[in-house]
Amino acid sequence: MESIWNYFLENPLMTGIFLLAAGVVIYFAVKKLLKYALISLAVFIALTIFSYYRAPDEFPDKFVKNIEEIHERSSNVAEKGKGAVEQGRRFINLLNRVFGEESDDSEKK
């Protein structure tokens, strides 16, 4: 790892090229994600408008119910994500113990 850092410190041209390439990759990834987010938003708005015109009397109740369901499911996903992160930390700590290295978490506590 130190040899990589030393290489980039000794070769500023390669560091610049690497940073430029990383910036281009990040730019296109964000651009693609933004594109998908905007398409999803447009579809959501179109379906909401369609639902309203199909049954305007039932729309407010169904809309609130759907928003509550989305909120509930997203909180479930967040809880699962927290569990996955915790499981990953335990796995990393196990690997550190197997290879005899100190974990960062043990130093903080």
Domain boundaries, the chain: 1-54, 58-109
> What pLDDT was estimated at residue 101?
62
pTM of the model: 0.40
List pLDDT tens digits, range 27-41.
888 888 888 888 988
Residue 103 gets which letter from DSSP?
A: P
Distance CA 77, CA 80 (A): 5
Q: Is 109 helix (H, G, I), strand (E, B) or coil?
A: coil
Contact between residue 96 and residue 102 where contact means Cβ atoms under 8 Å apart: yes
Confidence of residue 42 (pLDDT cuts 50, 70, 90): very high
Q: Of residues 23 and 103, which shows the higher confidence score?
A: 23
Q: How many CA atoms, within 13 angstroms, populate the side-chain half-sphere of residue 96? A: 13
Q: What is the mean pLDDT of the chain?
A: 80
Give backbone dihedrals phi and psi of 45, rounded to 5 degrees, phi first: -65, -40
Contact between residue 101 and residue 92 where contact means Cβ atoms under 8 Å apart: no
